[in-house]
Amino acid sequence: MEDIFRFADELGPARIIHVHNPVVNLKGVLVVDNVAVGPSIGGLRIAPDVSTEECFRLARGMTLKNAAAGIAHGGGKSVLYGDPRMPLAQKERLVRSFACALRDIQDYIFGPDMGTDETCMAWVKDEIGRAVGLPREIGGIPLDEVGATGWGIRHVAHAALRHRDFQIAGARVAIQGFGAVGKHAARFLARDGAVLVAASDSGGTLHDPQGLDVEALIGLKAAGKSVCDYAGGRKLGADAVIDVECDIWIPAARPDVIREDNVRRLRTKLVIQGANIPFTLGAEQYLHENGVLCVPDFIANAGGVICAAMEYRGATQSAAFAAIKEKLRANTEQVLARSRREAILPRAAAMALAVERVRHAMSLRRWALY
């Protein structure tokens, strides 16, 4: 017999709910992992190959990410089986029906993820009143449009530079992936006097040691073009951004782009992980041993989740940006100080911080007495 408690450990999961509605061909899973810190926030993913195990791992990721970000929310995640490109009317029926089935699960708040967007969140909000990542018209803060995660990266850079021997002004920045995260990080850092020396997208790498015009690049991307359509600079292959000499290297594209086999190519002093799991653990270990500071993803790219938590409270964009600044500066400082003090990887320090916050919150719950 299948062991239905096979994921159980000292943190969770609190609940796993399987939903089936044959009338609309709905099959979905919700995992509420740990809600000691507060009601869980986590995305709704639609994909043909999701599983309960994937849902649990993503929910656990949210428990730790939200705790590390310092927001009063636990971790959860939900998945729906289906092709995300299905006809819109069918998608709406599925999402609305899934939301209705989970109406009473008050400690889970829906957010967007792969296969869902702000329109899906509007349907969920309409059904049950609990969703983040909403359209602006109904109280949402469109985080990719305003650059919440890039704004966070700016403040992580400021905090991390207290542990380096150079300033933001004049620092050479290279960005892998000039999308929602990368372009806004470039914009905010350039405003502080940093010099963007390289940017890449799936079309290739653009390199100019003298500096690139960030606004011109953002204009190109808005017009649906590649950074390589820029008038000046050298055009190289997409992978070449790894070799660019710089002070700050920001991965903002895909997972596992830096591994044990290519980490030696990096020529930088500071890495700020905008993408999720862009480096393997071995690559992070190598950088740590060679004096390159590497701020891990779930500290560095938490601007988005902080923005979502603020949106849920009805905050304005400027209040959300103030919270991102305050939390990410404090978290980065705490993680890097602990990493130095205990001679551990920044990722290990961040993980320890997150688990401690969750454990402490658990100890404050009434059932901790029994």
Active site residue 27: no
317 binds ligand NAD (CB under 6 A): no
Active-site residue, selected from the candidate residues 65, 77, 91, 125: 77
332 binds ligand NAD (CB under 6 A): no
252 binds ligand NAD (CB under 6 A): yes
Q: How far is CA 64 from CA 11, 113, 257, 297, 355, in A?
A: 10, 17, 23, 12, 7
61 binds ligand NAD (CB under 6 A): no
Contact 139, 314 (CB under 8 A): yes
Contacting range for ligand NAD; rule: CB under 6 A; set: 13-21, 77-85, 251-259, 333-341: 251-259
DSSP letters for 85-132: TS-HHHHHHHHHHHHHHTTT-TTEEEEE-TT--HHHHHHHHHHHS-BS
Contacting range for ligand NAD; rule: CB under 6 A; set: 132-140, 197-205, 229-237, 357-365: 197-205
**Binding pattern to ligand NAD, positions 104-143, x when CB under 6 A?**
---------------------------------------x
Q: How far is the CB of 305 from ligand NAD (least distance, A)?
A: 8
Q: How far is the CB of 127 from ligand NAD (least distance, A)?
A: 25
* CB neighbour list of residue 86: distance below 8 Å, 6 or more residues apart: 94
78 binds ligand NAD (CB under 6 A): no
Q: How far is the CB of 179 from ligand NAD (least distance, A)?
A: 2
Contact 227, 178 (CB under 8 A): yes
Contact 44, 111 (CB under 8 A): yes
Q: Which of 238, 266, 271, 299 binds ligand NAD (CB under 6 A)?
A: 238
For ligand NAD, give the closer residue by CB, 76 or 152: 152
273 binds ligand NAD (CB under 6 A): no
Structure letter (DSSP) for residue 317: H
180 binds ligand NAD (CB under 6 A): yes
Q: How far is the CB of 304 from ligand NAD (least distance, A)?
A: 3
One-letter identity of residue 168 = I
Contact 152, 65 (CB under 8 A): no
CA 225 – CA 212 distance, rounded (Å): 16
Whose structure tokens read 């041993």?
Answer: 289
Residue of minimal Cβ distance to ligand NAD: 179
176 binds ligand NAD (CB under 6 A): yes
For ligand NAD, give the closer residue by CB, 32 or 257: 257
Bridge partners of 195, per DSSP, are: 172
Where in the chain does DSSP place strands (E)? Answer: 15-21, 26-34, 40-47, 75-81, 108-112, 172-176, 195-201, 204-207, 234-236, 248-251, 270-272, 293-295
Binding residues with ligand NAD: total (CB under 6 A): 22
CA 89 – CA 347 distance, rounded (Å): 42
Contacting range for ligand NAD; rule: CB under 6 A; set: 40-48, 229-237, 247-255, 330-338: 247-255
Active site residues: 77
Residues that bind ligand NAD in the complex, under the rule CB under 6 A: 143-144, 149, 176-182, 200-202, 238, 252-254, 274-276, 301, 304
